[in-house]
């Protein structure tokens, strides 16, 4: 993915102010930054989740103009957005939700829907890797789930949809150590030469479990510094003011 000079406004106010970022397949990038810097605005803009106003700039992904695609088309291209507060969907079982999402992605790609048997095999395999019971798969999506279970479930969604670009927006916030392990195991399991991962985080803690290739500081709508994993430690020690 290649983001060039991205300017995005929300309700007439410019939030992203000329952001540049290049993420290659196989790489894990972490974006860190103070509250209100525009991190979630970037995540939503990339996933096409909200129609923020793009004032200027381009985003290319797999040789296409990403910004010209709607959210479903982006999902079909393999973009996954996970975020801080997973949504509860009363009345829809986890299994139905996963199968519907997977088949929607396949239809968009012009592929045949996955039959029930093949889907169940896939779901069982991924659930087992994540320590999710079949009973939990049958429950309504995230309804009554603990914080840790919601995270496990989010990692399940990610594993089933098998994205080529996973964007995780503060998915680590407020997690206890066990839930943090679930998230980092899920991310590390996805890590491979053909996949890119963008971790947005306020804290360095997650990066003790998932070592990024590149770390960036987003402040006031721009990437103001980039470095290796050591930059995350520097931020933790000195704070954003000193580093950015
Ligand atoms: P971060 O994720 O880095 O904390 P955000 O991208 O959420 O920052 O927010 C950047 C700025 O945009 C903040 O000033 C925030 O108040 C504003 N903002 C974000 N979302 C909205 C929205 N839906 N409506 C109005 N303002 C918003
Ligand atoms: Mg915020
Ligand atoms: Mg945010």
3-state SS of 110-179 is CCCCCCHHHHHHHHHHHHHHHCCCHHHHHCEECCCCCHHHHHHHHHHHHHHHCCCEEEEECCCCCCCHHH
Which atom of ligand 1 is least distant from the CA of 38?
Answer: 6
Q: pLDDT by residue (tens digit) across 182-201? A: 899 999 999 999 999 999 99
Check pocket membership of 41 for ligand 1, CB cut-off 6 A.
yes
The domains located in the chain, with CATH, are 2-243 (3.40.50.300)
Distance 7 CA to ligand 1 centre (A): 14
Q: pLDDT by residue (tens digit) across 109-162? A: 999 999 999 999 999 999 998 889 999 999 999 999 988 888 889 999 999 999
DSSP annotation of 69:
S
- Rounded to two decimals, the ipTM of the complex is 0.94
* The pLDDT value given to residue 49: 83
Check pocket membership of 38 for ligand 1, CB cut-off 6 A.
yes
Which atom of ligand 1 is least distant from the CA of 41?
Answer: 6
Distance 199 CA to ligand 2 centre (A): 14
Which atom of ligand 1 is least distant from the CA of 218?
Answer: 3
């Amino acid at each position: 993915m290649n983001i060039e000079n991205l300017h995005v406004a929300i309700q007439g106010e410019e939030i992203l102010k000329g952001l540049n970022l290049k993420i290659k397949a196989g790489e894990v990038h972490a974006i860190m930054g103070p509250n209100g810097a525009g991190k979630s605005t970037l995540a939503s803009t990339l996933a096409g989740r909200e129609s923020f106003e793009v004032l200027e700039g381009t985003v290319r992904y797999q040789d296409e103009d990403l910004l010209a695609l709607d959210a479903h088309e982006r999902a079909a291209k393999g973009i996954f957005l996970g975020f801080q507060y997973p949504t509860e969907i009363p009345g829809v079982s986890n299994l139905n939700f996963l199968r519907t999402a997977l088949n929607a992605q396949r239809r968009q790609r012009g592929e045949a829907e996955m039959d029930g048997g093949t889907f169940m095999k896939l779901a069982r395999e991924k659930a087992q890797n994540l320590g999710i019971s079949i009973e939990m798969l049958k429950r309504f999506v995230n309804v009554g789930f603990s914080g840790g279970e919601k995270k496990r479930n989010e990692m399940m969604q990610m594993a089933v949809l098998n994205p080529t670009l996973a964007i995780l927006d503060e998915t680590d916030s407020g997690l206890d150590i066990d839930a943090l392990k679930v998230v980092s195991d899920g991310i590390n399991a996805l890590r491979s030469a053909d996949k890119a991962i963008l971790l947005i985080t306020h804290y360095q803690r997650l990066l003790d479990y998932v070592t990024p290739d590149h770390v960036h500081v987003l402040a006031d709508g721009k990437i103001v510094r980039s470095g290796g994993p050591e930059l995350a430690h520097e931020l933790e020690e000195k704070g954003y003011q000193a580093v950015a």
